[in-house]
Amino acid sequence: MDKIRPVIPLVPVHVSPADRAARAFLATGEISLSALPPLSLYVHFPWCVKKCPYCDFNSHEAQGAIPEHEYLDALNADLEAVLPLIWGRRVHTVFIGGGTPSLLSAAGLERLLADVRARVNLEADAEITLEANPGTVEAKRFRTYRDAGVNRLSLGVQSLNDRHLRALGRIHDATEARAALAIAASTFENFNVDLMYALPGQTLEEAEADLRGVLGFSPPHLSLYHLTIEPNTVFAKFPPGIPDDELALDMQERLLAILAGEGLMRYEISAFARHKRKARHNLNYWHFGDYLGIGAGAHSKISFAHRIVRQTRPRQPKTYLERAAVGASLFDETEVSSGQLPFEFFLNALRLVEGVPSSQFSERLGLPLSVVADALQRARQKGLLANDPLRLRATALGLDFLNDLQALFLPSDDAPQ
């Protein structure tokens, strides 16, 4: 990812929203889109009770009271400023993630959703997801979230084993995780559970017991992650003893076999769903749809007839609050170059087990599929991409070596031969 040099600066970030919109809509560009893709909204909540030692997300330990009111004001200003870029477009999904957005008060969440509804054209049956951490959950608050319009909960359980939860620095134990699962299952028809495996000191039997414990609550959706040691985390500095590659692979195979037998179909590299319970918000990312991201460190991808624009916001909550208060929440805004777009498309699409229709490439990028003809041929020759002219889909081997497959679509001077 470090090699990526996508960027053509669009306009200085202090330019007014209306001028920015005029430039984005009217100036000539490198691509030609026949229609705009579906649009989602992501809202980032950057605080947690405590920073977990493995986590490299933009999350910050709350020092004292969270400035909820100021943050909601800032989100509002951020959304207002970006509206001219999405006039007339409907929003299909909302995802409130973090951090730990379940630290928001019920009144705060109600205000947030009311602010969103007042400004964007939200579809009547929009999927609205809230990420919650079991240590911050209580039944009454969950019901209020549901009553405010949240219709999908994503619960970060990670493990149901106290020894492993302690090793992960989690603020909850297994009893609290089970209680949160029970509340989620009785309050929400649709919910996701995040579970990790290959944890410090974990055995195959313990990984299996975690999964079976979670399955006891019949989650409609599961996200299953191999614990990775990310740079700039406490685990990178003080590496814990984690299962070797062979044991981690055995765990993955065992867990996938159990899930297949339980009716949770793997539809993305780490995502499993029952019938009609795929995550619509995440599917939009993987299908290279558009998203507005508001909040500290949030990213947006917005398409126009002749360009695709990326925006970022300052990561530090304090800086974000200061900037949003004066109507300048953007940190950076760039146009993605046509040379970079195919890699970004395949980075997402190839994560899907069924891939995407081949026609989606030109629909989303405004470029002909022939621009990646050589890379497609190499990927097929290596047995990483299915030999199907109608779909762009990784083979089973390609899913196992996804990074190698995706790297074939890097801009030509960066791609492996």
Ligand X SMILES: C[S@@+](CC[C@H](N)C(=O)[O-])C[C@H]1O[C@@H](n2cnc3c(N)ncnc32)[C@H](O)[C@@H]1O
Shortest distance (Å) from residue 58 CB to ligand X: 9
Shortest distance (Å) from residue 102 CB to ligand X: 8
Pick the piece of the chain touching ligand SF4 (CB under 6 A) from 52-60, 199-207, 265-273, 313-321: 52-60
Q: Does 54 bind ligand X (CB under 6 A)?
A: yes
Give the residue, chosen from 40, 76, 93, 100, that forms a contact with ligand SF4 under the rule CB under 6 A. 100
Cβ count within 10 A of residue 63: 7
For residue 227, the partner it binds in ligand SF4, ligand X, none, with Cβ less than 5 to 8 A by kind, is: ligand X
Tokens 């229709």 found at:
357
Binding mask 198-237 for ligand X (x = CB under 6 A): ---------------------------x-xx-x-------
Pick the piece of the chain touching ligand X (CB under 6 A) from 52-60, 77-85, 350-358, 371-379: 52-60
- Reduced to 3 states (helix: H, G, I; strand: E, B; else coil), residue 90 is strand
Binding mask 179-218 for ligand SF4 (x = CB under 6 A): ----------------------------------------
In this structure, what is the dihedral angle of CA atoms 309, 315, 321, 327, given to the nearest 10 degrees? -20
Size of site (CB under 6 A) for ligand SF4:
11
DSSP letter (8 states) at residue 232: T
Give the residue, chosen from 62, 82, 196, 214, that forms a contact with ligand X under the rule CB under 6 A. 196
Shortest distance (Å) from residue 99 CB to ligand X: 6
- Pairing, β 47-48 against β 60-61: parallel
For residue 51, the partner it binds in ligand SF4, ligand X, none, with Cβ less than 5 to 8 A by kind, is: ligand SF4
What DSSP assignment string belongs to 96-164? Answer: EEES-GGGS-HHHHHHHHHHHHHHSEEEEEEEEEEEE-GGG--HHHHHHHHHHT--EEEEEEE-S-HHH
Q: Is the Cβ–Cβ distance between 181 and 214 less than 8 Å? A: yes
Q: Does 331 bind ligand SF4 (CB under 6 A)?
A: no
Alpha carbon 199 to chain centroid, angstroms: 22
Tokens 């780490």 found at:
270
Q: Does 156 bind ligand X (CB under 6 A)?
A: yes
Q: Does 156 bind ligand SF4 (CB under 6 A)?
A: yes
Shortest distance (Å) from residue 250 CB to ligand X: 18
What number of CA atoms fall less than 13 Å from residue 181's CA on the CB side? 27
Q: Where in 123-142 is the site for ligand SF4 (CB under 6 A)?
A: 133
Q: Is the Cβ–Cβ distance between 195 and 224 less than 8 Å? A: yes
Phi-psi bin for 377: left (phi > 0), alpha (psi -120 to 50), beta?
Answer: alpha
For residue 196, the partner it binds in ligand SF4, ligand X, none, with Cβ less than 5 to 8 A by kind, is: ligand X
Q: Does 129 bind ligand X (CB under 6 A)?
A: no
Residue whose C-alpha is closest to residue 268's, from 122, 399, 379, 160: 399
Size of site (CB under 6 A) for ligand X:
16
Residue type, 74: A
Note the residues at the interface with ligand X (CB under 6 A).
Answer: 54-55, 57, 97-98, 100, 131, 133, 156, 158, 194, 196, 225, 227-228, 230
